[in-house]
Amino acid sequence: MSADRLSKGVRIGALALLVSTLAACGTATVVRPSGGGSGVSTPKTSVPKPGQTVVVRKGDTIYALARIHDITPADLIAWNSLDNPSTIYPGQVIRLYPAGSGGGRAPTTVVTAPRPAGSTSGGSTAPTPGPAGPVKSNIAWRWPADGAVVGRYVAGDATKQGVDIAGTSGAPVKATANGVVVYSGAGLVGYGELIIIKHSDQWLSAYGHNRKRLVNEGQSVKAGEQIAEMGRTGANRDMLHFEIRYNGKPVDPQQYLPAR
């Protein structure tokens, strides 16, 4: 398994945070990169801010955000269930309060980051698998692109969390269902030009390796609307990498897409 493929699978797991926190996105605050030398010390106790979130900007770190908002890094990691706290991405939404606490302080829990496959360190951590069986969805999913499926979803495999659809450069990539674009950029290594669409509080879809993105963050899209041109950014051939996620966990897209 190549390092690029493993990195790709692990990094997309950070997108799960979009599902669990976007419900609070209406009150999101934009925080710009904190530059070094601010002199602000890391807080020893947290001051939760019920209902408030922050949108990650390029250059932000979880530790800088913790200092700015008077929250311990450990609590910020725990409140957002971050699998890899050392890596956050532009467009990611970070909650500044514990879920379901009503503003009270949650117990501090440090989440262990997943180890690369083949690690010899004790106590290996396996990738978190998706739901055991198909989760019922009331969304009328449709195929996002024409072409043969050349890569399939494998439950629990961090490098195969969606399907790869072969095609030609510039072929249309279409929204699989109605929704709102919550990410449009190239900030996730291994995905090239990437688009993420939120369809509901539980469901989102991701479209990677595009040649060109045609939609912006915050834009509403309709099922079947072209959102990108197929390409090979972050890939070795022209194709679309497509994922469906339920509550942040990858599911097999072919269990939801119509037969063809």
Q: Supply the CATH number for residue 159's domain.
A: 2.70.70.10
Mean local confidence (pLDDT), 187-204: 88
Dump pLDDT digits (tens) for 108-153: 332 223 333 333 334 444 444 544 557 899 999 999 999 999 999 9
CA angle 169, 172, 173 (to 5 degrees): 105
Query: What is the residue type of 76?
Result: L
Work out how many domains the chain is built from and give that number: 2
Given a cut of 60, is residue 22 above it in pLDDT? no
pLDDT at 57: 79
Q: How far apart are CA 72 and CA 85, in angstroms?
A: 13
Instruction: Verify that 153 and 239 share a domain, yes or no.
Output: yes
Contacts with 150 (C-beta within 8 Å, 6 or more apart), sequence order = 164, 165, 166, 239
Mean pLDDT lowest among 68-77, 136-145, 159-168, 230-239: 68-77
Tell me if 260 is assigned to some domain. Answer: no
Q: Considering only residues 76 and 117, tell me which one the structure prediction assigns the higher pLDDT.
A: 76
Mean local confidence (pLDDT), 198-226: 94
Query: What is the residue type of 245?
Result: R
Q: Which residues of 7-44 are buried (b: 16+ CB within 10 A; e: fewer)?
A: bbbbbbbbbbbbbbbbebeeebeebeebeeeeeeeeee
Range of the domain at 46: 3-95
Tell me if 123 is assigned to some domain. Answer: no
Given a cut of 80, is residue 216 above it in pLDDT? yes
Check if the beta carbon of residue 173 is closer than 8 Å to that of residue 210.
yes
Tell me if 8 is assigned to some domain. Answer: yes
pLDDT at 42: 60
pLDDT at 65: 87
pLDDT at 164: 97
pLDDT at 208: 95
